Chain A
Amino acid sequence: MLVTRFVAVSLAAWFAVALAPAQMPGEFDFDISQLTVSVIPPNGSTHVISAPVTYTGQNLRLNAPLRITAAGELRLLRSQLEVVGSVTLEDGGRLTVIDSDLLLRQTFSQQYDLRVEGGLVHTERARIGSSYVGTSLFLTRMLHLRGTWLARHTVCQCLALIIADGRNGWFGNPLHKGGSLFGLGVYEGDRADALHMTGMGDVHLTNGTMNIALYLDAAGSPVPTTTTIDLDRRVPLTRTYGDPLIHAGVTNAIANNPYWLSLNNHRSSLWQLFAVNANSALPLQTVHLQNAEDVICNFRGTNFTGSPILAGPWASHYATLPGLPSTAKPGHHALPPGCSVQLANVKYESGPNPGDWNSIRSWGIYASGTGTNLTVSGPSLIAELQLTSGTMNLSGTGSFDMGVRANTCRLYQGANLTITNAAIGDFQNTSLIGLVEANNQGVCTITNSRVANVRFRTTNASAAISATNLFGAENVIVDTAGGGVVTITQATPTQSWDRQNLGFESSPLLAGNTPPYWAATSVTGSAVATAAPGAPGTTSYEFLATANGASLEKQLTLPPETSLTMIGAARILTPPGSGGIVASMSHGAATPSAALNLGIVNAWQRFQVPLLTTTAAGTAALRLQATGTPAVVQLDDFRVVLGSWWDQDNLANLDFEGQCRDRGFAPDYWRAPDGWTAFQLRSEPDPTVTRPGANPGSQSLRVVPTHPSANIGKVLTFFRAGESVRVRGWVLGTSTAGANIQVIVGNGPNYFVVAPPNVFSGPIACNGTWQFVDVTYVVPVNPIYTRVGVSVFGMANVPVWFDDFTVEVQ
């Protein structure tokens, strides 16, 4: 009986669990993605919905494009649908997403589109856009060409909503001139792009927060015009943009505006401005920027020639002039009062008041026409680029300071793009994978540049992307599945102009038993199956000097103001009878070096050549030289760390003799020293306060925290497990109760956790006198990255000073 009761109770409990609804009433945050995935079998190469279909409470996947035709309706209720393909809504169709997600699953940016050619999209308590693939999101374009989107409490995730294109319709289709959006609570989800007011549609946004891109028709007026546009990002706005000659209820006129945009208590935290139909032959169209904080500006037009024109007193504010003035690194130029930048017939000018500063975060250039011949030279950040025919040349003037982030960088027809001395891709590690894509007969030629987080893609047999002297080339994703050629030229084994084989893992050895990718003088040797502690490989090179001055050498071609640090491991087997063994670098008159400790024999030692910074474009030599014989030394795991002012993964500007070019972004403006990042503080060089014993004429870093907890830091990825990293420096704080400064060196994102391997200096007294700090951190097994930071606690708005830090590998 007892057993029977137990079974009955158990069965009842099991049924209660098994039959429980997937989602209780009021369980609004139910995670639908945890339900078992149901794959919708496509009814053709494209899944077509031509009648009402409803899915309720399901986690769905469709591995095919989706088309909803007239009289078709897809209703998602408390469901999630991931589509591996484009989604098209035809006129007369309906797409209803309520308490649900509709996400496109992509492996690169704009791989698929959400295309609305008519009909009705209704989203309510929904999320729409791209789905995460691992930790990455790739941008989905929602082409709203016709029809209506009724959006209620909808999160746009990694979505760019494009309301058709100009007055002529998308690709000239007069039926696709732009749809309508009625938004009540449209929200900016992860990596949301913007609502692009590109066509003749109308948008009504109420009580939401989503980025907006305004479009200005540069060909719309037969006479010069001046328009002032207020781009306040800080507060919700209520206003209506449009052309008062055409649209009703306009409060903020934009001449010849094809679209109508009504904001009712809506905030755009990031504005974009697109000047379209720009052309040098047309009357000048001047846009006065007002309250513009880190907006994104763009030029789109035909037959751009020459270079951007900087007008106004730029030289009164900057020693180095920009290509396109950008505030995102490597750019570092806000628009001073009265200054402007002009391309073709469009001029963006800071104003309207004489004291107004404005800032443009980054740029987009969309150029077409065989007459295009544009050159941009100098610090800039170009986030997006599209070149259809014509020629464009982009080049930096400082250290890889032409930024081509390549959200997308696309070439069409016979476009010819040349990029030199640039930083290509996403160096801020925002999980964006950039795209450089050559279509049709497009050709992209890249030289002397750095790359990170980028894909090179060709889609046509006649398309080509070639790169030479590309630092970081090993991490480029190459995609030629659609045809065409991607050529990344690296040194051959008998050449020595890049960073290959720094770890001495390449085989076979060259004639004379010298290592590949190195230039050898009076050296023979062998590959040995032993590796320095922590080194990633398994072999090292045993260097045998056959004459005094025997050396291994590499020559790197670099732009000016590029820092180099060389770190390596060596084990001396036979010290030279006289002289020494020295690692060095040279560029111009600078020849920093580090001598190996000849007293350490048969044991591995680390060396670190002090920082070298190039002063002009040219080569820098990296060398390991024995000045006496016999000398036998095993070499392994050399690392040559390249640094530019705008990145932090290097040992540059530890002494704070550099500038503070990274001004940070609105609204915080955390100005950082070159080569560092800043968190909740602003910094500037200070030649008036320096540490005891500082070099005459030197400077310190003056830091003013904006919050009670603030820091500067460097994320360093080139250290090996087991290495000791010694950090020393000077700090000065004035007397503030409860305040202190700490130097923290730690591993990965939890670097601040008070637990090994992280090391803390402990609270350093802020007593008005300079304090010396000395901490040593041992890189743990499986390091993520090493973060070196100087933190300030409890001193919001009270200045402190840092000076002459060093980081040594031991």
Chain B
Amino acid sequence: MTPFFRALRAAVVLGTTTATSVAQLVWPAAYSATPGNAVMNAPFTVGSGHPTTSTKFMVVIDPATLPFGTGTVLSQLSMRRDASYTTTPYASSTGALRVRIGRTLVGPDLVQDVRFHRLWDGVPTQVFNATSSTPFTVPAGPAPGASLPPFNVVIPFTTTFTWTGGPLGIEITWTPTSGSSSWRIDGFTVPEAMPGTYRTLGPGCPGSHGFTAFQYALPETNRPGTMLTIQAEGGVRGTTPSLQDWAVHTIGLSNTLWGTIPLPVDLQGPLGMPAGCLLRVDPLVITPVPVTNPSVLFTRAVVQYVMPNQPHIAGGQLYSQWVFLDLGINAPFQGTISDGIEITLGSLAPPAAPRTGRTIWKYGAQPTVNETDSGRMVPTGYGPILKFN
């Protein structure tokens, strides 16, 4: 082995050793040596047209996932650029940067509020505050290609923070010295089942009260392994018990053929429904459903079907339509029909697991201490990949 290769091997070993020790403080730990599966624009990407030139994020971290124990004194936080935009370099920029750390009222699973200041449990510690007169520099982030970018955004705390347990919140507010800035950081997300979708096949026909019943599938239910829930609104409400207290739901596998009969079919002829009442689905399963009257004004009907916990049905399509009885209709068949919808099932729901972290972000944030602004968040676990020292 030549001296060159010996040196190279030593460097690799040293690098591996260093990486191992650092990996203990990367959160989430699984991403210490591999790029994240998500991208975060906040906090270092700032665009125009917002009320301010500040961008803010706050990540709430599940304490069980932190790579250190209670009593740990944190003195530095680092981030790295994303690895998704492989050919896009990011320029260096300067600006005001404030970092606050503290305990939050709830962990990531229970965050149900997007107003930043309401998430803190008590007063967070301001661990770093570079103002416009003593700005922080975000270093350049070269295009990474296939490499794992380094944690080169290093924020050394001016006040240390001791984690004493509980969910941890980290809030970072960035205000570039001038103009906008674009610098995406590496992030993670916990893959979740994608809800299915639905689309309208065509309208129903109006009832005696002038309204046309319509339906929808609750988005979180239209995927394998759940209880598909379809609700319909707008049938006529009876004032006394009658047949109007029932609706009929039909679900099928086609919107083009009912056996050999092309769809849609005008039900005026075969059933004596009012004109314009079109059957748009093949009625494979027919279910009578009692209607409810939550607001004493109109009927609502809800039907549920067990969706098999089978991944292969993801992407499959179902077709749904309702019939409402309407004694005010002047037709041989006193009923109306709702719109038809096509339901496309989403992906298989994964086993329930706690969220590692949850992030709220805001472009055009209030940069001062007295904030009352609200951000946005997604239901998925989502956050930056952080390195703690």
B336 to chain A, nearest CB (A): 12
A44 to chain B, nearest CB (A): 22
User: Is B9 part of the contact surface with A, judged by Cβ < 8 Å?
Assistant: no
B-contact bits for A186-198, CB 8 A (1 contact / 0 none): 0111101000000
Q: A26-B38, A71-B203 are in contact. Are A187 and B88 (CB under 8 A)?
A: no
A260 touches B294 (CB 8 A): yes
Q: A155-B114, A246-B296, A679-B370 are in contact. Are A33 and B218 (CB under 8 A)?
A: no
Q: A24-B85, A34-B48 are in contact. Are A175 and B38 (CB under 8 A)?
A: no
B-contact bits for A28-44, CB 8 A (1 contact / 0 none): 11110110000000000
A209 CA / B226 CA spacing, docked (Å): 26
User: Is B254 part of the contact surface with A, judged by Cβ < 8 Å?
Assistant: no
B366 to chain A, nearest CB (A): 9
A92 touches B203 (CB 8 A): yes
A207 CA / B113 CA spacing, docked (Å): 9
A365 CA / B48 CA spacing, docked (Å): 40
A-contact bits for B196-214, CB 8 A (1 contact / 0 none): 0001101100000111101
CB-contact partner of A26 in B189, B195, B200, B369, under 8 A: B189
B166 to chain A, nearest CB (A): 18
User: Is A239 part of the contact surface with B, judged by Cβ < 8 Å?
Assistant: no
Of B210, B294, B380, B382, chain A has the most CB atoms within 10 Å of the CB of: B294
Q: What residues of chain A lie closer than 8 Å to B294, measured between beta carbons?
A: 180, 202, 247-248, 260
Q: A26-B187, A28-B382 are in contact. Are A132 and B216 (CB under 8 A)?
A: no
Q: What residues of chain B lie closer than 8 Å to A155, measured between beta carbons?
A: 114, 374, 376
Chain A interface, number of residues (Cβ within 8 angstroms): 77
A98 to chain B, nearest CB (A): 9
A92 touches B295 (CB 8 A): no
CB-contact partner of A749 in B40, B87, B368, under 8 A: B368
User: Is A726 part of the contact surface with B, judged by Cβ < 8 Å?
Assistant: no
User: Is A259 part of the contact surface with B, judged by Cβ < 8 Å?
Assistant: yes
User: Is A750 part of the contact surface with B, judged by Cβ < 8 Å?
Assistant: yes
User: Is A542 part of the contact surface with B, judged by Cβ < 8 Å?
Assistant: no
B134 touches A29 (CB 8 A): no
CB-contact partner of A150 in B42, B52, B218, B370, under 8 A: B218
User: Is A236 part of the contact surface with B, judged by Cβ < 8 Å?
Assistant: yes
* 131-185 of chain B: CB within 8 A of chain A: 131-134, 184
User: Is A134 part of the contact surface with B, judged by Cβ < 8 Å?
Assistant: yes
Q: What residues of chain B lie closer than 8 Å to A180, measured between beta carbons?
A: 233, 294-295, 300
A20 CA / B86 CA spacing, docked (Å): 10
User: Is B112 part of the contact surface with A, judged by Cβ < 8 Å?
Assistant: yes
A143 CA / B357 CA spacing, docked (Å): 36
User: Is B320 part of the contact surface with A, judged by Cβ < 8 Å?
Assistant: no
Q: A17-B88, A153-B377, A247-B294 are in contact. Are A265 and B112 (CB under 8 A)?
A: yes
A124 CA / B218 CA spacing, docked (Å): 11
A52 touches B211 (CB 8 A): no
User: Is A2 part of the contact surface with B, judged by Cβ < 8 Å?
Assistant: no
Q: Nearest A residue to B43 by beta-carbon distance?
A: A29
B41 touches A188 (CB 8 A): no
B-contact bits for A775-791, CB 8 A (1 contact / 0 none): 00000000000000000
Q: Nearest A residue to B202 by beta-carbon distance?
A: A71
CB-contact partner of A91 in B47, B212, B292, B295, under 8 A: B212
A20 CA / B368 CA spacing, docked (Å): 36
CB-contact partner of A177 in B118, B210, B297, B370, under 8 A: B297
Q: What residues of chain B lie closer than 8 Å to A247, measured between beta carbons?
A: 294-296
User: Is B319 part of the contact surface with A, judged by Cβ < 8 Å?
Assistant: no
* 236-252 of chain A: CB within 8 A of chain B: 236, 246-248
Q: What residues of chain A lie closer than 8 Å to B57, measured between beta carbons?
A: 29
B-contact bits for A179-218, CB 8 A (1 contact / 0 none): 0101011011110100000001110000111000000000
User: Is B93 part of the contact surface with A, judged by Cβ < 8 Å?
Assistant: no
Q: What residues of chain A lie closer than 8 Å to B292, measured between beta carbons?
A: 248
A134 CA / B123 CA spacing, docked (Å): 30
Q: What residues of chain B lie closer than 8 Å to A17, measured between beta carbons?
A: 87-88
B297 touches A26 (CB 8 A): no
B51 touches A134 (CB 8 A): yes
A73 CA / B200 CA spacing, docked (Å): 9
Q: What residues of chain A lie closer than 8 Å to B51, measured between beta carbons?
A: 132, 134-135
User: Is A47 part of the contact surface with B, judged by Cβ < 8 Å?
Assistant: no
User: Is B378 part of the contact surface with A, judged by Cβ < 8 Å?
Assistant: yes
Q: A29-B42, A71-B200, A200-B297 are in contact. Are A147 and B233 (CB under 8 A)?
A: yes
A119 CA / B216 CA spacing, docked (Å): 10
* 119-146 of chain A: CB within 8 A of chain B: 119-120, 122, 124-125, 127, 132, 134-135, 146
* 301-327 of chain B: CB within 8 A of chain A: none
A183 to chain B, nearest CB (A): 11
A750 touches B131 (CB 8 A): yes
Q: What residues of chain B lie closer than 8 Å to A157, measured between beta carbons?
A: 374
A146 touches B368 (CB 8 A): no
Q: What residues of chain B lie closer than 8 Å to A258, measured between beta carbons?
A: 295-296
User: Is B27 part of the contact surface with A, judged by Cβ < 8 Å?
Assistant: no
User: Is A707 part of the contact surface with B, judged by Cβ < 8 Å?
Assistant: yes
Q: What residues of chain B lie closer than 8 Å to A16, measured between beta carbons?
A: 86-87
Q: What residues of chain A lie closer than 8 Å to B377, measured between beta carbons?
A: 153, 187
Of A13, A27, A122, A258, chain B has the most CB atoms within 10 Å of the CB of: A27
Of B40, B85, B212, B376, chain A has the most CB atoms within 10 Å of the CB of: B376
Q: Nearest B residue to A753 by beta-carbon distance?
A: B131
A406 CA / B57 CA spacing, docked (Å): 33
A267 CA / B86 CA spacing, docked (Å): 43
Q: What residues of chain A lie closer than 8 Å to B189, measured between beta carbons?
A: 26, 28
Q: What residues of chain A lie closer than 8 Å to B118, measured between beta carbons?
A: 209, 269
B358 to chain A, nearest CB (A): 11
A362 to chain B, nearest CB (A): 16
B379 to chain A, nearest CB (A): 5
Q: What residues of chain B lie closer than 8 Å to A267, measured between beta carbons?
A: 112-113
A708 CA / B209 CA spacing, docked (Å): 63
A-contact bits for B366-389, CB 8 A (1 contact / 0 none): 011110011011111010000000
B361 touches A188 (CB 8 A): no
User: Is A582 part of the contact surface with B, judged by Cβ < 8 Å?
Assistant: no
Q: What residues of chain A lie closer than 8 Å to B48, measured between beta carbons?
A: 34
B293 to chain A, nearest CB (A): 9
B196 to chain A, nearest CB (A): 12
B112 touches A207 (CB 8 A): yes
CB-contact partner of B39 in A26, A122, A146, A192, under 8 A: A26
Q: A20-B85, A91-B211 are in contact. Are A201 and B219 (CB under 8 A)?
A: no
CB-contact partner of B295 in A25, A124, A178, A207, under 8 A: A178
Q: A28-B380, A29-B376, A33-B363 are in contact. Are A182 and B218 (CB under 8 A)?
A: yes
* 226-243 of chain B: CB within 8 A of chain A: 231, 233-234
Q: A27-B39, A150-B219 are in contact. Are A127 and B363 (CB under 8 A)?
A: no
A93 CA / B219 CA spacing, docked (Å): 18
* Additional 10 contacts, C-beta under 8 A, given A29-B41, A33-B50, A152-B220: A71-B202, A91-B211, A118-B234, A135-B51, A187-B377, A201-B295, A208-B112, A247-B295, A679-B369, A755-B134
Mark A residues whose CB is within 8 Å of B.
13, 16-17, 20, 24-31, 33-34, 52, 70-71, 73, 91-92, 94, 118-120, 122, 124-125, 127, 132, 134-135, 146-148, 150, 152-153, 155, 157, 175, 177-178, 180, 182, 184-185, 187-190, 192, 200-202, 207-209, 236, 246-248, 258-260, 265-267, 269, 679-680, 707-709, 749-750, 753, 755
Q: When A and B form their complex, which 8 residue pairs have the shortest distance between CB atoms, in order from nearest?
A: A26-B38, A209-B113, A34-B47, A27-B39, A135-B51, A202-B294, A202-B295, A187-B114
28 pairs, A vs B, C-beta closer than 8 Å: A17-B88, A20-B87, A24-B39, A26-B39, A26-B84, A28-B38, A29-B57, A29-B359, A31-B47, A34-B48, A70-B212, A71-B203, A92-B203, A92-B214, A94-B200, A118-B211, A118-B212, A120-B214, A125-B378, A134-B51, A135-B51, A147-B233, A157-B374, A189-B114, A200-B297, A209-B114, A246-B296, A709-B123
